[in-house]
Structure 1
Amino acid sequence: MATFRLSRRAALAGAGTLLAAPRLSLGQGTAPAVMPGTSARPQANWGAATGDVSADRALIWSRADRPARMLVEWATTEGFRDAKRLNGPHVTEATDFTGKLDLSGLPPDQEIFYRVRFQDLSDPRAASEPVVGRFRTVPVSRRDVKFLWSGDTVGQGWGIDESRGGMVTYESMRKTGADFFIHCGDTIYADSVIPAQIRYPDGTVSNQITTPEKSKVAETLAEFRGAHRYNLLDRNVRAFHSEVAQMWMWDDHEVTNNWSDSKDLSGNAAYREKHIGQLRANATRAFLDYAPLRINTDEPERVYRKVSYGPHLDLFMLDMRSYRGPNSPNRQEVAGPETDFLGAAQLRWLRDGLASSRATWKVIAADMPIGLQVPDGKDAGGRALFEAIANGHGPALGRELEIASLLSAIKANDVRNVVWLTADVHYTAAHHYHPDRAQFRDFKPFYEFVSGPLWAGGFGPNALDDTFGPEVVWQKAPGTNNAAPGEGTQFFGEVQIAGEDGAMTVLLKDLTGATLWQRRLVPEPV
């Protein structure tokens, strides 16, 4: 597999002009905000990222510290010979000074180098230092492909401690030289406060960077945006974004824990804003400002989408949050609004997309696992409530009815080589689902691989639900709640697809990049 990586020094400089960034006061545990007008020219200290790459297109994202004009150059050589220069959008307070430019007309399967500057609006001669990055466009031939997935960043109070290297999982992922990365959700924890100090199990104290926006739960648009900016204070994150194309999804913590449209915040003292609809609106706006995600022209706030990545791979990235019914005991016998998890429109899109796909592998990137029980407290009658799909052993009921209909359609349409990837539960595992072990049996066997968190508390393992016959092939979990990062509790997954025969190798890795488990899957002919 031909890959290119910027040097670590170049990546750090290009991913945020680190030397020009505001000094971090670790003694106070606070990162002062960059204020417009404090420099003679615009600053771009938050780096740049590439998203939703295709054979001839790629989205470039970056942020300035003030109103400015985004300028982008791209070339097929690191020296930027014959570079093409494009005028991007004006960035203003309307988008928190973030900008996106959708490059088109790119050559397929080509290493692309880019640099972003921000031009001062009052003096066109004054522009920011360039932020540089690279990515590779999607192949049209059968070449090797490597990609990563995980989820859950800056959760349960665990934040950035530069004396411990920051969020080092991102640096380990950068070193893989992957083509792209799927963030399966919880890109931020809007409901998680970052304290200036937090204690590790060995008794040592971690001095963490904090910001005003991360000193409380996010409620206003500014606070949600500040939660996204917080992650970009980490040099590992910026370097990773500059070298590995991103494909973002979202889950609950982009808004608040276990949210749906029916979420009741009336008894939550942390929130002055009690209307979940207002929180969702602010969170959505902030997510779309900061995610390197191409906006859907028909539905501007739609997150689920398909990305084709060469002849061997079609990716179906889901949204298991926006269309769900309320968390309940999840035992309904008949499907309806209360059993929705994907929702009718998304379910139909996924079923039809899988049936029409001619790629060797159909990878479904999901917010949450299928067969793991994820509880959400109890109702007034003492019955357990469920946050995910599973509801305990037995026949398909509640949200499982939607998944049962999808799995039956996959079998009826003879869709081959379907693999599920997910995160959410804060440990890593390989699950195999088979009708011979299941209560519901009208489906083809398949694998589901779980990996996370990237930088958050470790949890699990969760109990299995036998409805679809899952079996734990392998797993690693801390066995305690909110286990600290750096204690062997941070994980990501890697997928390698061989161009020659289409074989897929799945590797589950820890925060150092060490492979803990792997398996090679040979595809059925399509």
Structure 2
Amino acid sequence: MRIDRRQLLTLAGASGVGLAATVAGVSTAPAMADPKHQLDPFTLGVASGDPLPDGVVLWTRLAPEPLIADGLGGMSQHVVPVTWEVAEDARFRHVVKRGVERATPELGHAVHAEVHGLRADREYFYRFRSGNAVSPVGRTRTAPSTHDRPRELAFAFVSCSNYPTGHFTAYRHLAEEELDLVLHLGDYIYEGPAAGTLGRAHLPAAEIFSLADYRVRHAQYKTDADLQLAHARFPWAVTWDDHEVENNYADEISEDAAQDPESFLRRRAAAYQAYYEHMPLRRSQVPQGPDMRIYRRLRYGRLAEFNMLDGRQYRSDQTTDPVSLDDPSRSMLGAEQEKWLIDGLSHSAGTWNILAQQTVMAKADRDPGPGEILPNDNWNGYEPARQRLFDGVARRRIENMVVVTGDAHCSMVADLKQNFDDPSSRTVGVEFLGTSVTSGGDGAPMDTRGTEWLASNPHMKFYDARRGYVRVTADSRKLRTDYRAVPAVTTPDAPVSTIASFVVEEGRPGVHTQ
């Protein structure tokens, strides 16, 4: 059964004002002209995101008591003015832009300031003020001009940060890099009740379902000092996977077969709203009930284009039925996003075409013998959709496709073959799978899955199961990835090291060991 999305605006509990109007500062709540905060309202830090050549999104959320169970963060039911400033220096001697946003109770007093009129490819510093309180200072950077070709681009990608299972040390090391951008590829939070053994038990203690629950869970993650530091240091571009809502959900379908679509979409609407409230996203991403368009494209001059994909909201349900697995109507991205992606790749002006997405795209057979053991939640369970993408890339002669992936809690590098059953077939791109920040706990260089993958999949070049992140540097001739890992996440001060590096050369398909 499919639910009328317009009805879900009511089912999700949206007010008559609507979230789009609320983001613009319209609210039914009374306004507080000159707030006097008894406690620091900037406990969740600051962030920036989705940089353009002339601007960036600035984010914060007023929450003097962020972990209160009602999800209100200790704020009253008032609209609160919040001033933002952007400067060329960290001491704010040269302020170049400032403005005021209205933090509303309908959006948990989150602030999304879309700043324009900045110079392209420049470093800036920003902060917020509310009454007598001043936020920490953040650092951000605008994208290069559309027609420029910067000498180099440096970015990193991360995923799967489960709070109870380990310390966010990888975020701290990430903050020490010199980067233009950070990509988060999903599972920013986890929805489960995990208690943990490190003094990092989830709040609320139970699995989360309501808007208040999701707000508290996001706020708990945002209180982590290492995560705050990484957000304050660079602009981020984010997309989600499943755990921002519920494990392994597919479109309107819950993992729990007994849950009716109506109640699941209420939950999804609550989760999407809380996600928007806690991320540096633009007004174009404001959720409408259980719908939120998060796939989008970011351009870095003529050097790179980032295609931020959504592999959860529009996908067909998972299946193990052999007949259904071969059904060409099944999709990972949905028809509209599929077309948007291949058309965008066809008209890309960037040297590097980067697909930032959630789940393993390369064939990942775990049977070392003549048979196949394939997962059904990643692209291996949506082979016709993957083949459409690869055939489209080959037919339209799209070059330099680089797929960056999260979800699997391990690192892997693979050539993407137009026909995985024929190792000599055309290589249409490369995939760099990044490990988790903490999910899965302490890792190791090799595990059973890695042994099986490398034995069964000749297109795979590398595997490692330690935690960390991936640093990427690209210029007009090559793209290099450095896999950065920590030996443990159950100890708070683990060092980081580069465990492997790989290079893709412009116009030469396939990955090469550095």
Which residue in the other structure is 1:193 paired with? 193
After superposition, residues 2-41 of structure 1 pair within 5 angstroms as 39-40=37-38
The secondary structure found in structure 2 opposite 1:207 is coil
Q: Give the TM-score normalised by the residue count of structure 1.
A: 0.76
Cα distance, 1:273 vs structure 2: 11
Q: Does 1:390 pair with 2:380?
A: yes
Contact 1:439 1:466 in 2 (8 A): no
d(CA) in 2 for partners of 1:434 and 1:326?
A: 25
Contact 1:151 1:184 in 2 (8 A): yes
d(CA) in 1 for partners of 2:469 and 2:321?
A: 30
d(CA) in 2 for partners of 1:407 and 1:231?
A: 37
Change (3 A) 1:352 1:384: closer
Pick from 275, 284, 288 the counterpart of residue 296 of structure 1: 284
Pick from 119, 137, 141 the counterpart of residue 142 of structure 2: 137
Which residue in the other structure is 2:483 paired with? 508
d(CA) in 2 for partners of 1:408 and 1:240?
A: 38
Which residue in the other structure is 1:401 paired with? 384
Which residue in the other structure is 1:221 paired with? 211
After superposition, residues 25-424 of structure 1 pair within 5 angstroms as 39-40=37-38, 43-65=41-63, 66=75, 67=78, 68-119=80-131, 127-139=132-144, 140-154=148-162, 157-158=164-165, 166-190=167-191, 192-195=192-195, 198=197, 206-208=198-200, 210-211=202-203, 213=204, 215-260=205-250, 261-265=252-256, 275-296=263-284, 301-329=292-320, 331=322, 332=324, 333-336=326-329, 339-371=330-362, 373=364, 386-391=376-381, 399-424=382-407
Aligned residues: 432
Contact 1:74 1:114 in 2 (8 A): yes
Change (3 A) 1:329 1:175: same
d(CA) in 2 for partners of 1:418 and 1:510?
A: 25
In the alignment, residue 84 of structure 2 is paired with which amino acid? Answer: V
Change (3 A) 1:466 1:229: same
The secondary structure found in structure 2 opposite 1:52 is strand
d(CA) in 2 for partners of 1:342 and 1:440?
A: 26
In the alignment, residue 283 of structure 1 is paired with which amino acid? Answer: A
Cα distance, 1:435 vs structure 2: 4.5
d(CA) in 1 for partners of 2:187 and 2:255?
A: 20
Contact 1:373 1:388 in 2 (8 A): no
Which residue in the other structure is 2:17 paired with? none
Q: Give the TM-score normalised by the residue count of structure 2.
A: 0.78
Cα distance, 1:445 vs structure 2: 3.5
Contact 2:137 2:232 in 1 (8 A): yes
Change (3 A) 1:85 1:263: same
d(CA) in 1 for partners of 2:255 and 2:201?
A: 31
Structure 1 stretches lacking a partner, 5+ long: 1-36, 120-126, 160-165, 199-205, 376-382, 392-398, 478-488
Deviations 1:72-99 (A, max 9, x none): 1111122323314533321122111111
Change (3 A) 1:520 1:328: same
The secondary structure found in structure 2 opposite 1:181 is strand
Cα distance, 1:440 vs structure 2: 10
d(CA) in 2 for partners of 1:49 and 1:254?
A: 19
Structure 2 stretches lacking a partner, 5+ long: 1-34, 64-74, 367-372, 487-494, 510-514
Cα distance, 1:470 vs structure 2: 5.7
In the alignment, residue 235 of structure 1 is paired with which amino acid? Answer: A
Q: Does 1:497 pair with 2:474?
A: yes
Change (3 A) 1:407 1:355: same
Contact 1:312 1:502 in 2 (8 A): no
Which residue in the other structure is 2:503 paired with? 520
Runs of 4+ in 1 over 4 A off after TM superposition: 297-300, 372-375, 439-443, 462-467
In the alignment, residue 172 of structure 1 is paired with which amino acid? Answer: H
The secondary structure found in structure 2 opposite 1:241 is helix
Task: Quote the RMSD (CA, aligned, Å).
Answer: 3.0
The secondary structure found in structure 2 opposite 1:504 is strand
The secondary structure found in structure 2 opposite 1:449 is strand
When structure 1 is superposed on structure 2, of 132-141 and 258-267 the one drifting more is: 258-267
d(CA) in 1 for partners of 2:258 and 2:286?
A: 37
Deviations 1:450-469 (A, max 9, x none): 112112215763665999x7
When structure 1 is superposed on structure 2, of 84-93 and 66-75 the one drifting more is: 84-93
Contact 1:407 1:444 in 2 (8 A): no
Change (3 A) 1:297 1:456: closer
d(CA) in 1 for partners of 2:423 and 2:415?
A: 15
The secondary structure found in structure 1 opposite 2:283 is coil
The secondary structure found in structure 2 opposite 1:239 is helix
Change (3 A) 1:264 1:437: closer
Which residue in the other structure is 1:13 paired with? none
Change (3 A) 1:384 1:496: closer
Deviations 1:386-437 (A, max 9, x none): 211214xxxxxxx211111111111111111111100101011111233575
d(CA) in 2 for partners of 1:171 and 1:258?
A: 29
The secondary structure found in structure 2 opposite 1:454 is coil
Contact 1:374 1:388 in 2 (8 A): no
Contact 2:415 2:429 in 1 (8 A): yes
Cα distance, 1:519 vs structure 2: 1.4
Percent same amino acid at aligned positions?
Answer: 22
In the alignment, residue 249 of structure 1 is paired with which amino acid? Answer: T
d(CA) in 2 for partners of 1:449 and 1:314?
A: 16
Contact 2:88 2:96 in 1 (8 A): no
d(CA) in 1 for partners of 2:387 and 2:128?
A: 47
